[in-house]
């Protein structure tokens, strides 16, 4: 795809985004900030990341009954779980809009948007960056040690960061009564398998990118060390 074409698509999606609620737009900008940082570390195209991020939540603020209606009108397959929890439709609706009205043909971008709520097995690097950036953007991780550590971890191991986020989410769902979704938990089991087979590790494709990853290592190690020293003092 030409640079001109993707820039046209970005401009069109930006226009759509500007009509969404301010709070949602602010969330998207925060996700973008994280995603640009991770795209640099993992050598992913900045423009493709931008398209995925600015498109991912275009239907997030739509009322649940409207989401079902839009999905029916668009002829999308609505699983039972989606009817019970229509917010799960906001990714598929956004991907459909980008494909049909904006002319996006980049499958990785479309699938990443469609599946960003729960994630999916054997995700592309671009999808992993979208999912983790969405879950740990700066406001979500404020005063949250676990999400802060997960964000730092993403600079050196995106798969482990996703697994840690999934486990954090499981605990949060049990503690706070957040709804669990079956699709997310099925995917989580697949991520564990992928992790043990070591087949889904993103590849760092240049020495410069490797250097950036290596430099970020202490950011993850330090909080763990300080926790250990606290344990020793208590003993």
For Fe ion, the binding residues (CB under 5 A) are: 57, 134
Q: How far is the CB of 75 from Fe ion (least distance, A)?
A: 22
Q: How far is the CB of 130 from Fe ion (least distance, A)?
A: 9
- Nearest residue (CB) to Fe ion, 44 versus 52: 52
- Nearest residue (CB) to Fe ion, 106 versus 134: 134
- Nearest residue (CB) to Fe ion, 52 versus 125: 52
Q: How far is the CB of 74 from Fe ion (least distance, A)?
A: 17
Q: How far is the CB of 113 from Fe ion (least distance, A)?
A: 9
CB within 8 Å of 84: residues ≥ 6 apart: none
Q: How far is the CB of 165 from Fe ion (least distance, A)?
A: 14
What the block records as the tokens of 64 is 């649940």
Q: How far is the CB of 117 from Fe ion (least distance, A)?
A: 5
DSSP letter at 142 equals: T
Whether 38 and 136 have beta carbons less than 8 Å apart is answered as no
- Nearest residue (CB) to Fe ion, 131 versus 220: 131
What the block records as the tokens of 34 is 């994280």
CB within 8 Å of 117: residues ≥ 6 apart: 87, 88, 90, 91, 181, 184
Quick one: which H or E segment has residue 17? Answer: helix 3-17
Q: Residue 37, CB half-sphere, CA atoms under 13 Å: how many?
A: 20
CB within 8 Å of 171: residues ≥ 6 apart: none
Quick one: which H or E segment has residue 126? Answer: helix 125-136
- Nearest residue (CB) to Fe ion, 137 versus 220: 137
- Nearest residue (CB) to Fe ion, 30 versus 212: 30
Whether 207 and 201 have beta carbons less than 8 Å apart is answered as no
Q: φ and ψ at 59, to 5 degrees?
A: -110, 15
């Amino acid at each position: 795809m030409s640079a001109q074409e993707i820039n046209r698509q970005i401009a069109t999606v930006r226009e759509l985004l500007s009509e969404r609620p301010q709070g949602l737009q602010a969330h998207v900008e925060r996700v973008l900030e994280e995603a640009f940082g991770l795209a640099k570390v993992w050598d992913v195209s900045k423009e493709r990341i931008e398209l995925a991020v600015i498109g991912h939540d275009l239907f997030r603020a739509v009322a649940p009954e409207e989401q079902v209606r839009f999905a029916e009108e668009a002829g999308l397959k609505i699983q039972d779980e989606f009817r019970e929890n229509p917010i799960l439709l906001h990714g598929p609706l956004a991907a459909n809009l980008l494909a049909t009205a904006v002319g996006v043909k980049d499958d990785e971008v479309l699938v990443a948007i469609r599946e960003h709520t729960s994630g999916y097995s054997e995700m592309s690097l671009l999808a992993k960056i979208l999912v983790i950036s969405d879950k740990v953007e700066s406001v979500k991780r404020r005063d949250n040690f676990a999400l802060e550590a997960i964000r730092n971890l993403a600079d050196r191991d995106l798969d482990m960061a996703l697994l840690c986020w999934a486990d954090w989410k499981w605990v949060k769902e049990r503690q706070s009564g957040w709804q669990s979704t079956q699709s997310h938990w099925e995917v989580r089991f697949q991520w564990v398998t992928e992790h043990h087979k070591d087949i889904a590790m993103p590849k760092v494709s240049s020495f410069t990118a490797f250097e950036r990853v290596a430099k970020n290592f202490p950011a993850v190690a330090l909080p763990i060390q300080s926790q250990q020293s606290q344990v020793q003092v208590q003993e």
